[in-house]
A and B are shown apart, each in its own frame.
Chain A
Amino acid sequence: MPTLLIARLVILEAVRRRLALAAAGLTLAGIGLTGWAFVKLAEQFGRSSLQLAGAVSGIVILMAFMFVTVLALGAALIGATALGTELENGTLLSIIPRPLYRIELLAGKWLGAFGVVAIYGTCAIGLEAVIVRITTGYVAPQPLFSLAFFLAIVALVVTCAMTLSVRLAPLTAAIVTVVFYGAAWIDGIAHLISSSLGNDGVAQGTLAAGLLFPSDGLWRGALFGLEPVAMRAAGVNGAGSAGPFAVLGPPPEAFLAWCVVWVLLVAWAGVASFRTRDV
Chain B
Amino acid sequence: MNEAERRPAIETRDVAKKYGTVLALRDLSLTVERGEIFGFLGPNGAGKTTSVKILLGLTHATSGYGAILGQPLGAIEARRRIGYLPELFRYQDWLTAPEVLAFHAGLLGMPGRLQKGEIARVLEVVGLAGRERAKVGTFSKGMQQRLGLGVALIGDPELLILDEPTSALDPVGRADVRAIVCAARDRGATVFLNSHLLSEVEAVCDRLAILDKGRIVASGTMAEILGAFEVRITFAQVPVDGALDALVRYAAEAEGPRTFVLRSIAEADVPDLVARLVRCGARVAAVEPVRGSLEERFLNLIGAGDADAADR
The residues of A that contact B89 with a CB separation of less than 8 Å are 90, 93-94
A99→B77 contact, CB < 8 A = yes
Task: Find out whether the CB atom of B107 lies under 8 angstroms from the CB atom of A98.
Answer: yes
Say if the beta carbon of B38 comes within 8 Å of chain A. Answer: no
Cβ–Cβ contact A90 & B103, under 8 A: no
Contact residues, A93-118 vs B (CB, 8 A): 93-101
Contacts A98-B107, A99-B79; is A16 near B57 (CB within 8 Å)? no
- Bound Cα distance A16, B92 (Å): 11
Bound form: Cα–Cα A89–B79 in Å = 22
Contacts of B25 in A (CB 8 A): none
- B223 proximal to A (CB < 8 A): no
Closest B residue to A96 using CB positions: B58
Please tell me which stretch of B80-88, B114-122, B239-247, B284-292 contacts chain A, meaning at least 4 of its Cβ atoms lie within 8 angstroms of it: B80-88
- B residues 38-77 near A (Cβ < 8 Å) are 53, 56-60, 76-77
Contacts of B59 in A (CB 8 A): 278-279
Residues of chain B within 8 A of A93, CB atoms compared = 58, 84, 86, 88-90
A96 to B82, CA, bound (A): 12
8 Å CB contact of A100 from B76, B77, B82 = B76
Interface residues on B, range: 20 to 34
The answer, yes or no, to whether B297 is at the interface (CB within 8 Å) is no
A15's nearest neighbour on chain B, judged by CB, is B94
Known contacts A96-B58, A99-B77, A16 near B107 by CB under 8 Å:
no
In the complex formed, the residue of A with least CB distance to B148 is A94
Report how far A95 CA is from B95 CA in the complex, Å.
Answer: 15
In the complex, B188 has a CB within 8 A of chain A: no
Which listed residue, A94, A98, A276, touches B86 by the CB 8 Å rule? A94
B80 near A99 with CB under 8 A, answer: yes
Which of A91, A100, A279 meets B90, CB within 8 Å? A91
* Interface range for A: 20 to 34
* CB closest chain-B residue, reference A101: B76
| Distance between Cα atoms of A65 and B50 in the complex (Å) | 49
Q: With A and B bound together, what is the CA distance between A172 and B93 in angstroms?
A: 24
- Contact (Cβ within 8 A) B104 A98: yes
Q: Say yes or no for B109: interface residue by CB 8 A criterion.
A: yes
Chain A proximity of B176: nearest CB distance (Å): 20
Contacts of A101 in B (CB 8 A): 76
A13 cross-chain contacts in B, Cβ below 8 A: 92, 94
Residue of A nearest to B109 (CB): A99
Q: Indicate if A2 sits at the interface (CB-CB under 8 A).
A: yes
A94 & B82 in contact (Cβ 8 Å cutoff): no
User: Is residue B151 contacting chain A, with contact meaning CB distance below 8 A?
Assistant: yes
Q: How far is the CA of A98 from the CA of B108 in the complex (A)?
A: 7
Asked if A97 and B106 make an inter-chain contact with CB atoms under 8 angstroms apart, the answer reads: no
Task: Report the Cα distance A99→B108, complex, angstroms.
Answer: 6
Would A276 and B91 count as touching, CB distance under 8 A? no
Contacts of B53 in A (CB 8 A): 278-279
Other-chain contact of A97, B58, B95, B103, B148 (Cβ < 8 Å): B58
Is the beta-carbon distance between A94 and B91 smaller than 8 angstroms?
Answer: yes
Q: CA A93 – CA B107 in complex, angstroms?
A: 14
Of chain B, the residue at the smallest CB distance from A275 is B60
CA separation between A5 and B92, bound complex, in Å? 14
* Per-position binary interface string of chain A over residues 119-147, scored 1 when its CB falls under 8 Å from any chain B CB and 0 otherwise: 00000000000000000000000000000
Chain B residues whose CB sits within 8 angstroms of the CB of A96 once the complex forms = 56-58
CB-CB under 8 A from A17, the residues of chain B are: 94
Report yes or no: B82 in contact with A276, Cβ–Cβ below 8 A. no
B109 and A94 contacting across the interface, CB-CB below 8 Å: no
Chain A, residue nearest B55 (CB): A97
Chain A residues with Cβ below 8 Å from B85 are 94
Residues from chain A with a CB closer than 8 A to the CB of B109 are: 99
Check: A231 CB closer than 8 A to any chain B CB. Answer: no
Question: Complex formed: what's the CA distance from A101 to B80 in Å?
Answer: 12
**Smallest beta-carbon distance A191→chain B, Å:** 43
Asked whether, in the complex, the Cβ of B151 is within 8 Å of the Cβ of A94, the reply is yes
Residues 48 to 98 of chain A near chain B (Cβ within 8 Å): 89-91, 93-98
Contact A9 B92, beta carbon cutoff 8 Å: yes
If A90-B86, A94-B86, A99-B76 touch, whether A279 touches B58 (CB-CB below 8 Å) is: yes
Residue of A nearest to B57 (CB): A97
Complex contact B79–A98 (CB within 8 A): yes
Offer 15 A-B interface pairs, CB within 8 angstroms, sorted by A.
A2-B106, A2-B107, A5-B106, A13-B94, A89-B90, A94-B91, A96-B56, A97-B58, A97-B82, A98-B108, A99-B79, A101-B76, A276-B60, A279-B53, A279-B58
A-B pairs with the 9 shortest C-beta distances? A93-B86, A98-B107, A16-B94, A99-B80, A278-B59, A97-B56, A279-B58, A90-B88, A90-B90
Supplied contacts A17-B94, A96-B57, A278-B53, 13 more A-B pairs, CB within 8 Å: A5-B106, A5-B107, A9-B92, A16-B94, A90-B86, A93-B84, A93-B86, A94-B86, A94-B148, A95-B107, A97-B57, A97-B79, A97-B82
Interface residues of A (CB under 8 A from B): 2, 5, 9, 12-13, 16-17, 89-91, 93-101, 276, 278-279
